[in-house]
Amino acid sequence: MSISQPFRLVGGGRIDRRRRVDFRFNGLRFEGYRGDTLASALLANGVRTVGRSIKYHRPRGFVGSGAEEPNGIFTVRHTGVEGSTIPHAPGTVVELVEGLEAHAVNGWPSLRFDFAGGLQWLGGMLSAGFYYKTFMWPRAAWHWYEWAIRRMAGNGRAPDGPDPDRYDKRNAFCDVLVVGGGPAGLAASLAAARAGARVILADDQPELGGSLLGARRQLGGKPAFAWVANCAAALADEPEVTVLSRTTAFGFYDHGFVAALERCTDHLPPPRRRGPRERVWRIRARRVVLAAGATERPLVFENNDRPGIMLAGAAAAYVNRYGVAPGRRAVVFTNNDSAWRAALDLVEAKIEVAAIVDVRPEPGGALAARAEAAGIPVLAGHAVVDTQGRNALRRVRAARLDGSGARNLDCDLLAVSGGWNPNLHLHAQSGGRPRFDETRGCFLPGPPVQAETGAGACRGTFRLDACVREGAQAGREAALAAGFRDVGVISAPSTDEEGTTDPDPAWAVHSRRPRPRRAFVDFQNDATAADLALAVREGFESIEHIKRYTLLGFGTDQGKTGNVNGMALAAGALGRSPAQVGTTTFRPPYTPVTFGAAAGLATGELHDPLRVTPMHEWHEAQGAVFEPVGQWLRPWYFPKPGEEMRAAVARECLAAREGVGLFDASTLGKIDLQGPDAAVFLDRIYTNDWSSLAIGRCRYGLMLGEDGMVMDDGVTARLGEHHYLMTTTTGGAAHVLGWLERWRQTEWPELRVRFTSVTDQWATIGVAGPRSRDLVASLCEEIDLGPESFRFMEFREGVFAGVPCRIFRISFTGELSFEINVPADYGRYAWDRIVERTEEFSITPYGTETMHVLRAEKGFIVVGQETDGSVTPVDLGMEWILSKKKDFIGRRSLARSDCRRPDRRRLVGLAAADPNEVLPEGAQLVDEPFTFLPVPMVGYVTSSYWSPNLGRSIALALVAGGRDRSRVFAALEDGRFVPVDVVSPVFLDPRGERQRG
Amino acid sequence: MAEPRRESPLGRAPAAAPNRLIERPSVRVEELPFRAILVLHGRTGRPRFAQGVAQVLGRPPPDAPNTFVETRFGEEGVVIAWAGPEEWFVIGQEEGTSGLRVALRQAIPETDGAVVDVSSGFTLFTLEGRRARDLVAAGCSIDVHPRAFGPGRCAQTLYARTGVSVLQRDETPRFEMMVRRSYAAWLWRWMESSAELMAVE
């Protein structure tokens, strides 16, 4: 034995003994081998205590050897790698790499001496529901309690700072997805592949083999691993097979959609890591074969949580797979035959087995003879009733089930097996309902709900040869069901199978002490048998409630070892069978998934698409401050160096009314309508009349929902006899297009009209202000821009700066203004030609904030700001836009009595008595300040700005009864009530002379 | 006045390399800007529509969903891609010189079909290389395996949260992805990141 690894066996295991790996645990240096997990390397070095339990801070060691591990949870980093921290990884799945630094997640100041360890002597005080009961009072103290509790509890610390790693996602499709690369999964994959199916095999281990990796088994008269190697080679030869190793299928969703997490680089030393750290596979499978294996469950007895007490299968795996002795002298405690095999493996590895303690009166079956030949003493009809050892196991106490014949057995390893639980997670996530099988003492998959079938241990088949046979059959049937040829019965190799894993259900061992010690059911949450009994005594009946009261099955391990024991104990306390009590809900993910993997590339600027206009680079170069509008990024305002927002907006507002304001309106939704029935269609969609609109003219339109509420607005132009161009709000474009299509396709298929989104096709440049006509004229020679020849609400086609254009004389600012549309490829070019004339025409670019101020000065609404889905055109004072000559969507709803209430909230203007007071948007309006509660709200502020053109604050609001009120008070957050006058919403140029000029 | 200058959705390109390129050992993405792109609406069951298209493009638009056909407009190679019920994209070559829109508009009566120029509204990316399929699979849930997809197939789908049309042009495989202009720069950055992850694996 190596000195540095005193518990490393001389030979055996699937580790590479030529490649030593240095790592650290809690600051101390250790050495292991390539192929080790953190857990096997620590055990090889004799480290037994690897954590403290969450509630009682009891010393804990490894219980398992895989994803089920409840105790051995670590914060993992790597020397010299900044930021890359895994906060709570089970040491049993962390592959050992050079430079790995692991820290126990609990235990302060050290694992051996934990201050909070004294908590366990507080006896019954810390029972189930302790937190609920104790920290309720006084309520105000909770924030202090929480601070203290969080220091004591928790599984690791979230790293601070951004995650430096990158994560990927991949969509994949297959005919047959096989989950699990053990005997059943390998056989299934091969059978399906031979039928010609596209197969994905997802396996969570670094190499294929599943349970065979940790067991010493024979198949077809040869070591089972030769069979595994043959299968792996055959799969590698199949062109349509994708084997995903280190990949955990963690979620089974509807329609054969399975999500899997591939760990791409964690097993490599940091310098060799390339590409994404993890990848989420989004797999759509026509058929799914679940060959996810089974998880061994512990037995529940007093002090069953000392370091050195582990699952029998895990003990065998440490010996067989990693060449590690998990102890020097073992006792095996079981209720089924599988642990007998583990005992024989221990003996084979020269580990003394002091006894097999079996609760069954005549245990062992065919294995009994082999145990006798190996010289293992057997205590039949006995149980382990207690254990000793402060930081690690030293001795166990065994006794007959009636309590007699108690004796002590010295040992440093207690290998326990309470039977095996099929891994039903994916089956249950797919909609299956597990059912309890009394014979096998475990839950089995119920009837499949999706195109899914189980094979092997995950459906309760534990004999090795049966697993292979069942897997092959499942693969064959899956391929057949997916439309491939039948490959016929596949012969499976025979095995050395002996014994049975059907346990004698012994859910808990009673010591018959008057005051029993703690017997743990869920190690990670410190939930005990007594807690479950207490929960039932306190009246909980549903297993879901019992779970939440006792914390059974929470945490990073999600109760993989403890759940079924807990459910059975709860059932016992309720006087019911486990079948009646059932399981808690199996929710994805099966094992924890990092946030990084969930996000994939979608972080930072790639989080969500950003839409930009053709002039975006110019805006950026000008130092624009941007505002997200839907997915669009729009310039909000263009500050000069050192300029505050208010000053910049004021400057932009004045410029647009005095010189020329330049505005990028490309984001407005634009929909091309063509067809002989376009006018009829518009008549039905919009509230006003469209048939009368002449070619070359534009009209403002309001769209209502069927409920009569304002949905969208915009200007539509008639481009030709059967051709219109509709504009929509920036945020409403996609919805409006869908709305139009819905009516055309489902209600009025007889109308010949077609819609095409042309939002992206056109760059739209708005120029506003008294000199805008001169500016446009300087760049556009062939269109007569004279006020009489190109009137307000008309459009012209022509050439602008050498580029084909459509120019609309419309206005959202109340100024003389033009909207110049050019094909977007030329948008920046046309924009630059305008900008070149900045000096000549005193041009000022303005952003969305100034646009809002300018339109508010005119009392123009913004859908979504003045409206919220409960506002009618009448509420907005826009009766004029409701045609009485025709029907339109929403018209009948406007006749509802509620829409005609005189006290509906109506759009008004607000002028605060103090002209410098800019009311906050959303502020509630009341009739009287400082009155008794509850204060009736009469309305609220919808838009509010400082108007530089008027030299005062202005606001728009919805107020009950509208201008029936002349004065209201705005309730501000700071407690003040500000008097405001209710005025006309049109603050500037009420007759519209400027825009028509 | 100088000749108006076009600008691709990916921004102002250096004169030396007008087409943007992502070049990795396993995958190559190139922008094909300034293509003539039209949206065509109509019913292939209406002779005046189908014949009008055939008169200009040599054949009526394909009826089968999610397929495209390659045809010619004079010397110009043109693709007609199914885009939805009674709706197609017509993708020609050079935006500025293509007479496609005018020819189609003249051939199809206004009462029987719609023709809309969206050349500026979209851009095209071509994806090729050994791992072109993986790059498609990184961003969208369309099965592009040869058994499920192939030359002549197209799809409207979400790719990295942007709506795109994916066309498989040949068996090498070479894909074309058509994306709306305002999304193009963002999608390009996404593809750069995705291709980079792929390249370093």
**What's the mean pLDDT in A127-150?**
68
Hey, is the C-beta of A51 within 8 angstroms of any chain B C-beta? no
Give all domains of chain B, ordered by start, each with its CATH number: 21-33+121-200 (3.30.1360.120), 35-120 (3.30.70.1520)
Considering only CB atoms, which chain A residues are within 8 Å of B145? 173, 198
Q: What is the CATH number of domain A167-294+422-481?
A: 3.50.50.60
Selection from B160, B153, B194, B158 nearest residue B174 by Cα: B153
Report which DSSP code applies to A314. H
Hey, is the C-beta of A554 within 8 angstroms of any chain B C-beta? no
pLDDT digits (tens, 9 = 90+) for B60-87: 999 999 999 999 998 899 999 999 999 9
Spell out the domain ranges in chain A: 1-163, 167-294+422-481, 298-418, 506-581, 616-667+761-855, 669-757, 901-997
User: Do the chains contact at B120 and A601, CB–CB below 8 Å?
Assistant: no
User: Do the chains contact at B7 and A829, CB–CB below 8 Å?
Assistant: yes
| pLDDT, position A162 | 86
Residue A346 has pLDDT above 90, yes or no: yes
| pLDDT, position A1 | 40
- What does the alpha-carbon distance between residue A419 and residue A114 come to, in Å, rounded to a whole number? 33
User: Do the chains contact at B119 and A762, CB–CB below 8 Å?
Assistant: no
SS (H, E, C) A328-391: CEEEEEECCCHHHHHHHHHHHCCCEEEEEEECCCCCCCCHHHHHHHCCCCEEECEEEEEEECCC
**What's the mean pLDDT in A124-146?**
67
Compute CA A160 distance to the chain's CA centroid, rounded to the nearest angstrom: 20
* A109-123, A178-192, A352-366, A728-742: least confidently modelled range: A109-123
Residue A247 has pLDDT above 90, yes or no: yes
- What does the alpha-carbon distance between residue A883 and residue A970 come to, in Å, rounded to a whole number? 36
Q: Which CATH number fits domain A506-581: 2.40.50.140, 1.10.10.1100, 2.60.120.380, 3.40.50.880?
A: 1.10.10.1100
Q: Which of B88, B140, B143, B186 to mutate to test the interface with A (most CBs of A within 10 A)?
A: B186
Q: Which of A825, A828, A831 to mutate to test the interface with B (most CBs of B within 10 A)?
A: A825
Considering only CB atoms, which chain A residues are within 8 Å of B186? 605-606, 609-612
Bond from prior residue into B173 cis (ω within 30 degrees of 0)? yes
User: Do the chains contact at B161 and A614, CB–CB below 8 Å?
Assistant: no
CATH 2.40.30.110 for domain A901-997: yes
**What's the mean pLDDT in A540-546?**
95
Considering only CB atoms, which chain A residues are within 8 Å of B189? 605-606
Considering only CB atoms, which chain A residues are within 8 Å of B161? 602, 608-609
Which backbone phi and psi does A604 adopt, to 5 degrees? 55, -135
What is the CATH superfamily name and number for domain A669-757?
Answer: Aminomethyltransferase beta-barrel domains (3.30.70.1400)
- What does the alpha-carbon distance between residue A482 and residue A152 come to, in Å, rounded to a whole number? 53
User: What tokens appear for A975 in the block?
Assistant: 């407690």
- Residue of chain A with shortest Cα separation from B13: A617
pLDDT digits (tens, 9 = 90+) for A839-864: 999 999 999 999 999 999 999 999 99
Same topology, domains A167-294+422-481 and A298-418? Answer is yes
Chain mean pLDDT for chain A: 92
Residue A288 pLDDT grade (very low, low, confident, very high; cuts 50, 70, 90): very high
* A216-225, A753-762, A815-824, B78-87: least confidently modelled range: A216-225
Residue A808 has pLDDT above 80, yes or no: yes
Residue A625 pLDDT grade (very low, low, confident, very high; cuts 50, 70, 90): very high
Residue A118 has pLDDT above 90, yes or no: no
CB A59 within 8 A of CB A79: no
Report which DSSP code applies to A457. G
User: What tokens appear for B151 in the block?
Assistant: 């030359």
- What does the alpha-carbon distance between residue A615 and residue A830 come to, in Å, rounded to a whole number? 10
User: What tokens appear for A132 in the block?
Assistant: 């609920």
Residue A497 has pLDDT above 70, yes or no: no
pLDDT digits (tens, 9 = 90+) for A120-133: 655 555 667 666 66
- Residue of chain A with shortest Cα separation from B113: A675
- What does the alpha-carbon distance between residue A558 and residue A571 come to, in Å, rounded to a whole number? 20
Q: Which of B49, B197, B198, B200 to mutate to test the interface with A (most CBs of A within 10 A)?
A: B197
| pLDDT, position A152 | 60
State pTM to two decimals.
0.92
How would you list the strands of the sheet with A86-90, edge to edge? A28-34, A16-25, A100-104, A73-78, A86-90
Q: Which CATH number fits domain A298-418: 3.40.50.2300, 3.20.20.70, 3.40.50.261, 3.50.50.60?
A: 3.50.50.60
E-strand ranges in B34-187 read: 35-42, 68-73, 76-84, 87-94, 113-117, 122-128, 154-159, 162-170, 174-180
**What's the mean pLDDT in A965-988?**
94
Selection from A292, A342, A370, A369 nearest residue A501 by Cα: A342
Residue A744 pLDDT grade (very low, low, confident, very high; cuts 50, 70, 90): very high
**What's the mean pLDDT in B37-53?**
96
| pLDDT, position A491 | 78
User: Given CA atoms A222, A228, A232, A237 in this order, what sign does their dihedral have?
Assistant: positive
Residue A2 pLDDT grade (very low, low, confident, very high; cuts 50, 70, 90): very low
User: What tokens appear for A684 in the block?
Assistant: 């039905």
The CATH fold assigned to A1-163 is: Ubiquitin-like (UB roll) (3.10.20)
Q: Which CATH number fits domain A616-667+761-855: 3.55.10.10, 3.60.10.10, 3.30.1360.120, 3.40.50.720?
A: 3.30.1360.120
| pLDDT, position A492 | 77
- What does the alpha-carbon distance between residue A466 and residue A460 come to, in Å, rounded to a whole number? 11
| pLDDT, position A84 | 78
User: Do the chains contact at A168 and B138, CB–CB below 8 Å?
Assistant: yes
CB A444 within 8 A of CB A294: no
CA B74-B80-B81 angle, to 5 degrees, is 165
Considering only CB atoms, which chain B residues are within 8 Å of A166? 197
Bond from prior residue into A589 cis (ω within 30 degrees of 0)? yes
What is the secondary structure of B74-111 as a DSSP string? Answer: TTEEEEEEEEETTEEEEEEEETTT--HHHHHHHHS-TT
Counted across chains A and B, CB pairs separated by less than 8 A come out at 154
Direct distance between the N- and C-terminal alpha carbons of chain B, in angstroms, rounded to an integer: 51
| pLDDT, position B67 | 98
Selection from B18, B198, B7, B179 nearest residue B89 by Cα: B179
- Residue of chain A with shortest Cα separation from B95: A825
Residue B97 pLDDT grade (very low, low, confident, very high; cuts 50, 70, 90): low
Please report, for residues A198, A591, A759, A841, the alpha-carbon distance to residue A170 in angstroms, rounded to integers and kept in the order given: 16, 19, 31, 54
| Interface predicted TM-score (ipTM) of this complex, two decimals | 0.97
| pLDDT, position A450 | 97
